[in-house]
Chain A
């Protein structure tokens, strides 16, 4: 579904990603993990066509993202950026309708015949339908996150790119949001900070370090002290979570092996 090959990206003249290769299967939920500033957001933005690669390429459904128009990209991948300024008096439904932009054409009467239906479906799937007519400015952080997800779903793209979808949420909303994301049929690539949540919800994880992919695989394979310690520069203990049965990572002290 998504094929990243030998990708290098610079931002402001500084190399952020170098020689990254990664393949994501259709329908898979892949988490990008790694320390702050390692290039998770940059990778998501490049896949979503928001940044141009210096070298290498990204294929989504066989199309080179760098050669597509913003419109074509938006039909292939739906991006949810990390922070959105929601200070405007738009209703939830109006925000979700923006997801239909890539299907509309200027000067066309009734440009998007199944738009309304898709918007309603996205509102239903994300549980935002009941406050669809409220102003987004009045929503809580968790509700806003679901609205953004609804907008991404309304885009009807086969792949979703989510940048820290749970970063500002309390544990209740973290779990509810991830439950929802994991239940989607779409291919999902998400930057996730919380290693335990990544282990619990994702099919595979990609560990990034120094602008490169250090390891890719099932959470159990990647979340080992051996791999994590040098990347996060901290001593860690990896155990099995007694309740969920998935990997649990505990940071021990700040001065690790490296």
Chain B
């Protein structure tokens, strides 16, 4: 499903390319090691030769060079990043809804997105030094993690983190950070446009390295969440119930919260605040596959990836390119209302 959406999406744009061509380009780009090469390295004869793998493409279809360039250098990074961000947000949303037993929960319920926004806006308005040269994305990521940590610390007392306290602390911090963002926005002067654009969520100017880093992080952390799928199932029935069947509830909560926050922070840092993916995709998938997180979590993550790639394709195929955040919300909200009227979404 995801592969299909991605392939079709790569063909859509100002230069329309057939899906078959896209498939050929992608197939040509797949390289496998075919042998070992020895490089003579350095001048000294005593030095051992360096060993390297020889790579070769698997297939060699005839495609136009222009099409290959568009697919591989322009559209693929964007699609890869979109898929990654959708994957991360939908997985985190699924975990948060189960965790809070609350249908309104989404990946940024504990203020991760607001924190990222403040970090990013601060960076745009008043550039400050971010370690490791991470720039805007680094600032947003740090803002996200700092916020999650603060909310967690506020809600934790004596080693216990009641979810109700966590939820309210998250809402309060979000409101506060919203105020900070607005204030900074008022004083942003010429950079206002850039700030607003960032806040809306966007996938343009994606780079393949970003997609790789975020992708590996997301797959790793969602894999970690998956290990706790059964714990999440038991926690749906209540924390005491979960504890009664032998789950270290507080430890599980800490791990899930940390994994969701990091994964959401990373997604927001590279793509801005993209709403609704983390809220509606888990709901929609729950209606289809049921509440069992062993199935729901991977299905939601993949559906989120497909949804965001499709939404982004729509966002960039119009006359003027829109930030993808507008498209997800514009598409997501009516769909969500439809589900709400048709089935009891509130059942979680």
Contact B237 A84 (CB under 8 A): yes
Assuming A70-B249, A101-B234, A107-B227, is B347 touching A81 (CB within 8 A)?
no
Cβ-defined contact, A49 with B291, below 8 A? no
> Taking CB as reference atom, which chain B residue is nearest A75?
B246
Q: Which residue of the partner chain, among A87, A99, A102, contacts B348 with CB atoms under 8 Å?
A: A87
**Is the C-beta of B284 less than 8 angstroms from some C-beta in chain A?**
no
What B residues does A48 contact at CB under 8 A? Answer: 244
Distance between B323 CB and nearest chain A CB, rounded to angstroms: 36
Q: Which residues of B contact A (CB under 8 A)?
A: 101, 227-228, 230-231, 233-234, 236-238, 240-241, 243-249, 290-292, 347-348
Q: How large is the interface on A (under 10, 10 to 19, 20 to 34, 35 or more residues)?
A: 20 to 34
- Expressed in whole angstroms, the Cα–Cα distance for A81 and B347 within the complex equals 21
Instruction: State A124–B143 Cα separation when bound (angstroms).
Output: 54
Task: Verify A102–B246 contact, CB threshold 8 A.
Answer: yes
A94-B244 contact, Cβ under 8 Å, with A88-B348, A101-B230: no
Interface residues of A (CB under 8 A from B): 45, 48-50, 69-75, 78-81, 84-90, 94-95, 98-99, 101-102, 104, 106-107, 137, 151, 155
What's the least CB distance linking B37 to chain A, in Å? Answer: 37
Question: Is A151's CB under 8 angstroms from B347's CB?
Answer: no
Q: Quick one: closest B residue to A137, CB to CB? A: B347
| A136–chain B nearest beta-carbon distance, Å | 9
The verdict on A71 contacting B290 (CB below 8 Å), with A81-B238, A101-B230 known, is no
Q: Are A88 and B245 in contact (CB under 8 A)?
A: no
Which of B236, B244, B249, B347 has its CB near the most chain A CB atoms (within 10 A)? B244
Known: A88-B291, A89-B290. A101 touches B245 (CB 8 A): yes
Bound-complex Cα distance A72 to B248 (A): 11
User: Is the pair A74, B246 in contact by a Cβ cutoff of 8 Å?
Assistant: yes
Tell me the bound Cα distance from A71 to B245 in angstroms: 7
Contact of B243 among A50, A95, A155 (CB under 8 A): A50
Q: B245–A74 contact, CB under 8 A? A: yes
What separation, in Å, do the CA atoms of A222 and B230 have in the docked complex?
Answer: 44
Chain A nearest CB, measured from B78 CB (Å):
35
- The answer to whether B290 and A81 have CB atoms under 8 Å apart is no
CB-defined contacts of B348 to chain A, threshold 8 Å: 87-88
Partner of A78, one of B244, B292, B347: B244
Given contacts A89-B291, A101-B230, A101-B234, contact A71 B246 (CB under 8 A): yes
